[in-house]
Structure 1
C-alpha cells in the first residue's frame, strides 16, 4: 500500500507556515524508474515530524510519485530518525486526528471539555441565519473570497476545511497566503483534518465555532486540496457537500451552494454545471438551499477581452448548456448574480487561481461561479 524510501535532505527549498519543502536524494530509485533521477521534492509537516535540515536522513512515503498522481507531486517525509522533535509540553486536549494511523496527532478541540470555548459550543443552538457557503473544490476558496470582498470588504470570513481530501490544513499554500493577507479571519479543521486555528469534531461544531468563537460574518466550507472521483454517480468526495449544506440548514444558517461550473473541461459531465453539483446539491441536499449562478449574458465583449484576452475561453459559451441543466436544481432557490466586474476582481486575487490545472484565462466560468456565490453571500449580510 505504501512505497517507502530512505533519503537525505539536500536542501530546504521553501517554507510556509507548518511546512518545509525540501529536495531529497533517495537511496533507491522510484519504482519503475531505475535509471531516473533519485532527487525528489518532499514536504515535511513541521508540527508533526519536526524541522528538516540539509544532511538529515529521512524516511519518505513516495506512493503518489510512484503512481504518478497529479495532486501535490511531492514525497511526504514521515520521520527524521536522527533528528526527532522534542516531546510537546503538557497541554490540554484529547482529540485525536488521523486516528489510528501511524501519524495520528492529539489536539485541543474547540468543542473539547477542556477548551475555554466548550460552554459556548455546548449552549449555542442556532447560527441565526449566518451565510454558509459550501464548495466542492478547494480551488474555489480564493474566488469565493474575491466575490465576498466586492460587496463586503470588511466582512470576517472563517474557512472550515473538512476531511474529504488533504488532512493537514498547512498543505494549502493558498490558505496560508490568504490568512496572512487578512482575507481569512480564522480557519477550522474538521473530522480527521487538522492544523486550523481551531479544531472541531464535526461540521456542526465547526459551524458553531465559526459563529461563536471566530465571530464570522460568512463561513466558507470545502474539502482540502486533492478531490477524489471515480467516475461513478456517488463515488466522489464532493458528495459531502450535501451533508454540509444540510448541517448549515439544520443549525439555522443560510446554506449557499457553490455551483461547480466550467466552460473548458473536456469531460462532458463537468461542462456547464458539473454533474458533481447536480448530484450532491440537486439530488442529495435537502430542498431549499440557495444556489447562486452567474448571469453570463451580462458579460460584454469588452470585459471578456480585457480580462482573459482575445484568445481566451469565452465564459458565455456555456449559456445554453446551463439553461438546459436548471431543472435539475429545481428543489432549490437559484439566485442569478450579475457577474460584471467579477473577472477584474478575480485578477486581483493574491494567490494563484487554478482548478484542475486550469487558470482564470483558461476556465473563467469556474471562478466566476465561485465568486458569484461569495457576492450572493455578502449581499445577505445585515
Structure 2
C-alpha cells in the first residue's frame, strides 16, 4: 500500500470513527472540485455524475456563485427574520417571478420546505377550504422521497427510511405513483393537497405515464385540492426545463424547491405559491432563524439569474437527449434491463447477475466516475449541467467497460 492509499484509508477510518453511520459513502475522499470534476486527497480526478443529488446543477464552485457568496460574506451573513435585510425582498420577488407565482416562504433544507408545504396545506384546508379541525388529509405516492423528518417518513414506503421511527404522523394516504384512477378514489372532502414528485429521483428516476401530471392538475383543480409539486431534485434545470412539471404544461399550486437553489454553496429551500395559499400564515406561526438569510438570498439570486438565461435548461435537454440515446443502446444486451429519466437525469437498472448497484458504483469509482446506487440494482446518473459532451462520452465508455466485465 502506498502512502497516498494509506491517506485515503486513514481519512475514511477517521470519518467512520466519529460520525454516525447514517450514510454509506463510497471510499473516496474529495479535497477539491471545479465544474464537473472533483479531486481526492491523493490527487486523483473523478467525473461527478451525481452532482450532490442535483444540488450542484451549476457545477462545483461556479465562478458567478462563488463571487456572489464572497461579496455577501464581506457585508452581512445573518440577521434572523427579526429584522429586514437588503437581499430578502429581491430574492423573494425574483423567485416568485421565475415560478410564475406571487409569494415565497424561504427555508433552508429540502425537508424543511416539505414540512412547510405540509403545514401550509393543512392551514389552508382549515382556513380557506373549511375542512373540520384535525381532519385534513394529504395524498402522496408510494416510493416517494420527500425527506427524513419524522412526519415525512410517516408517509414513506421505504422500510430503510421508515422503520423504527414511529409512532407515525397521521393524515396521509398513499396511492400508487402514476395511477390517476387510484388518486381520484383517494381524494375526498377532507383532502387538502396532493403532494408529488414530478419525477421520483430516489426511487430510481421514475417518470410517470404521459398525461399523469396534467390529470393530477385537472383533478385537484376540480376538487378544490392543492397540487404541491416537490421539485427539489427535478427542478431548476435538471430535466431540460426550469421545472419538470412544464414538460406537461402543468403549473401546480405550490412549488417545493431546494438543492440547486443554493448553487452547491449554501442550503437554500423555499415554498412558492399564491398569496391566497401562503397568506394563511401569520407572524409566529412558522419560521426559521436561518431561512432567507442574506448569504442564502445572495446565492439564490445568482442562481435565478443563471436560470433566466435558459443556457442550463438547453444544455440539460440537448445533452440529456444524447445521454438517453446512448443508454438505451445498452438495454437488451444482457447488462442493462431498463433506463428511465429525462434531461440530464437517468436511472439505469443493471442486471443483478453483474452485481448490485453498489458494486457497479465501486467499479466506476475505480475508473474515475462517481455515481450512486439506489434500491439494489439501480444507479443514478445526474451530472452537473455544465458537464462537457466529451467528458460525458468518456464516462459512458467507462460504464460500458464496467458492464462488459
> TM-score normalized by structure 1?
0.31
> Relative contact order (alpha carbons < 8 A, sep ≥ 6): 1 or 2 greater?
2
TM-score by length of 2: 0.29
The answer to which structure has the higher helix fraction is 2
